[in-house]
Amino acid sequence: MKILACADIHMGRIPSVRTTDYLTSHSSWDEVVDKAIELSVDVLILAGDVVEQAEHWFEAYGPLISGLEKLAASHIKVIGVGGNHDYSVFPSLVKESAHIEVLGLGGKWEYLDYKGVRFVGWSFNTRRVMNNPFDTFNNELIDTDNALLGILHCDIGSSISSNYAPVSHNDFEKSVIPWWVLGHIHKKEMYERAFYCGSPYALDSNEKGEHGLYLLENEDDGSWKTPEFIPLCPYRFESCVVTLEGAQSEDDVKDALTQSLRSFAQQITGEGTLLCSITLIGSINRSLDIPSILTQEGLEAFIMQVNHWRVSVLGNYQDNTTLDVDLEKLSQSPGIVSLLAKKLLNDDELAIMVNEYKRIETQSFTSPSYYALDAPNHTKTDDEYKALVKQAGKKLLYNMLNVRKGEMR
C-alpha cells in the first residue's frame, strides 16, 4: 500500500510570501491532491488543521470538496483527524462528503481497516485539550493482524501545561504502533516512531526549510519502509549570515551581501524561490550607516538567479555588526568616553548590561503593549547578548566622538 501523509494545510489562510502573487488560500491543498494522484497512492492522510478556522469554512468548502471528489475519482481513500483549528469543521465535513473518513470525532479513539492496514486516530473535540489523548487509549484498538498506522494532532514532548494535546515520546513506544503520522507543528520533524508532516507550504517566514509531504509504503512482509519526504512547496524560507568583516564602503557591504547569498544558495538543493532573512556580522568602518545602505525598499527589490533558485531578501534583517572602535585606546582617554569604553572591556560590567538587556527584552515581549510584535525565534546565548551590548555601546561611543568633534570645531 502507498500512503501520502500531510497536515496543517490551514485552508482559508493565504501564505505570507511577498514575491509570489499566485498563491491562494487553497494552493497547497490543490498541489497535495495533484501529487496524490500523480503518485497513484491508495490513501491520503490528513493529520488535522486542514482548515484555518471555522469562519473560513465558506472559503475552503468549494476547493476542499472538489479535491475530495478528484481523489475519489482516482480511487484514493482520504482518512483524517481533526486538529485544534478545525475541530468544529470536520464534523460538518463528514456530513457533506462521503469521500473522507475522519477518525476520533468527539475526542474518542477510533480505527478504520482498509486494504490490510488498521488506521488508528483521535480528534480534537474543542479548541484546547490539556489532557494527554493516550490516557484514554484502548489496547483493543491494536488487536488485529493488519499493519498498524496511527494518526494524531498533538504537542509531542511539550510541557504538560500545553493546550494542544500534550504527549510524550514514551506514549508512542507504549502504543506498539510502528509509525504515527502527526500534525500541529508546521516544521517537518522525524522521531523514532513518529513524525510531524509539517505544513505542505510554508505559511510565513518563521517556517524555514523544506515543506511538503511524506510517502509511506509497505514492505513485502507487511512492515513499513522508512517514511520518504516529498518536497512540494515552490518557495523556501531560510536564514543567511552575511559577513561584513572589514567593510569600508557601501560597495563593500553590497558585494558581501551578494557573495554571501550566492554561496548560500549554491549549497541548497532544490528549485523555486529562496527567501532569505539575513544576519549581518563583523567589524565595519565606524562611518558606515547600515540602515541607509540596506533599506527595506532596496532589499525587497533585490532578486538574483542562482542555479535553480530565484533568490530574494526579506526586508527585516538582524544587524550584529560592530564598529571598528578601538576600545583599548579610548579607555585611556579622559572623560565619559573613557568610562564607557572601560565598561565594554570589563566582563563583570558586560554581564550586568547583558542581564539588563535580557530583562528589558523579556518585559517587552510579555507586555500587553507589545503583543503585536513577534517573539524572538530562538533563545539568544549569552555570547549573542554580549555582542548586541557591545554593538550598542560602540555605536554610542561613535556618536559621542562625533559630538565631541563638533564641539571642538
157: left (phi over 0), alpha (psi -120 to 50) or beta: left
pLDDT higher than threshold 80 for residue 380: no
Q: Is 113 buried (19+), middle (13-18) or exposed (0-12) by CB count in 10 A? A: exposed
Own/partner long-range contacts of 97-106 (Cβ < 8 Å, ≥24 apart): 97/65, 97/68, 99/68, 99/69, 99/71, 99/72, 100/46, 100/68, 101/77, 103/79, 103/151
Q: How confident is the model at residue 378 (pLDDT cuts 50, 70, 90)?
A: low
Q: Domain check: are 206 and 250 in the same one?
A: no
Backbone phi, then psi, for 132, in 5-degree steps? Answer: -75, 120
In whole angstroms, give the CA distance from residue 23 to residue 169. Answer: 36
Average pLDDT over residues 35-48: 98
Q: Domain check: are 223 and 245 in the same one?
A: no
Which amino acid type is present at position 36? A
Using the 3D structure, point to which of 231, 255, 270 is the last residue of a domain: 231
Q: Domain check: are 172 and 269 in the same one?
A: no
Average pLDDT over residues 201-224: 92
Does residue 145 sit in helix, strand or coil? coil
Q: How confident is the model at residue 173 (pLDDT cuts 50, 70, 90)?
A: confident
For residue 343, what are the domain limits?
Answer: 235-408
Q: Domain check: are 218 and 345 in the same one?
A: no
In whole angstroms, give the CA distance from residue 68 to residue 98. Answer: 9
- Tens digit of each residue's pLDDT (9 = 90 or more) over 111-140: 999 999 999 999 999 999 999 999 999 989
- C-alpha dihedral, 240 to 243 to 249 to 251, nearest 10°: -40
Q: How confident is the model at residue 372 (pLDDT cuts 50, 70, 90)?
A: very low
Q: Domain check: are 126 and 152 in the same one?
A: yes
Q: Domain check: are 199 and 264 in the same one?
A: no
Q: Domain check: are 281 and 221 in the same one?
A: no
pLDDT of residue 61: 85
Mean pLDDT of the chain, nearest integer: 89
In whole angstroms, give the CA distance from residue 323 to residue 394. Answer: 6
Number of structural domains found in the chain: 2
Q: Domain check: are 166 and 34 in the same one?
A: yes
Q: How confident is the model at residue 335 (pLDDT cuts 50, 70, 90)?
A: confident
Q: How confident is the model at residue 60 (pLDDT cuts 50, 70, 90)?
A: confident
Using the 3D structure, point to which of 197, 231, 265 is the last residue of a domain: 231
Average pLDDT over residues 179-197: 96
For the entire predicted model, the pTM comes to 0.81
User: Can you give the CATH number for the domain in which 169 is found?
Assistant: 3.60.21.10
CA-CA-CA-CA torsion sign (65, 67, 68, 72):
positive
Average pLDDT over residues 326-348: 86
Q: Domain check: are 251 and 126 in the same one?
A: no
pLDDT higher than threshold 60 for residue 375: no
Q: Domain check: are 239 and 280 in the same one?
A: yes
- Tens digit of each residue's pLDDT (9 = 90 or more) over 230-243: 999 999 999 999 99
In whole angstroms, give the CA distance from residue 380 to residue 372. Answer: 21
Q: How confident is the model at residue 56 (pLDDT cuts 50, 70, 90)?
A: low
Using the 3D structure, point to which of 184, 209, 231 is the last residue of a domain: 231
Q: Domain check: are 64 and 115 in the same one?
A: yes
